[in-house]
Amino acid sequence: MNFKEINIPKNLVCRSSDLQTNKDRRALFVQLLKKWAHPGNGFIPYVWGGCSFVNIYTTDFKKHELNNNLSYYARDEIKSCPKNGCDCSGLIARVAQACGIPYFFKNTTTMVTKLEALQKTDILQDGDLMWMPGHVLAVASVKDNTIIEARSYGSGFGKIHELPLNQVFKNINSYDDLLRSYFANKPLGLLNKDKEVKSTLTSYKLLKLASVWK
Say whether pTM exceeds 0.75.
yes
Check if the beta carbon of residue 42 is closer than 8 Å to that of residue 57. Answer: yes
Per-residue pLDDT of the chain (214 residues; tens, 9 = 90+): 788 888 877 766 555 556 789 999 999 999 999 999 999 889 999 999 998 888 899 988 999 898 888 998 988 888 878 888 999 999 999 999 999 999 999 999 999 999 999 999 999 999 999 999 999 999 999 999 999 999 999 999 999 999 999 999 999 999 999 999 999 999 999 999 999 999 999 999 999 999 999 8
Instruction: Write down the pLDDT at residue 112.
Output: 96
d(CA 43, CA 75): 12
- Cα 153 to Cα 46, 74, 113, 211, distances in angstroms: 8, 9, 26, 31
Check if the beta carbon of residue 45 is closer than 8 Å to that of residue 85. Answer: yes
d(CA 110, CA 121): 25
Domains of the chain: 13-213 (3.90.1720.10)
Q: What is the 3-state secondary structure (H, E, C) of 82-120?
A: CCCEECHHHHHHHHHHHCCCCCCCCCHHHHHHHCCECCC
Q: What are phi and psi of 27, to 5 degrees?
A: -60, -40
H/E stretch holding 141 reads strand 135-141
H/E stretch holding 63 reads strand 62-65
Q: What are phi and psi of 32, to 5 degrees?
A: -70, -35
Check if the beta carbon of residue 147 is closer than 8 Å to that of residue 129. Answer: no
If one counts every other C-beta atom within 10 angstroms of the C-beta of residue 15, the result is 12
Burial 37-47 (b: 16+ CB within 10 A, else e): beeeeebbbbb
Instruction: Write down the pLDDT at residue 67.
Output: 84
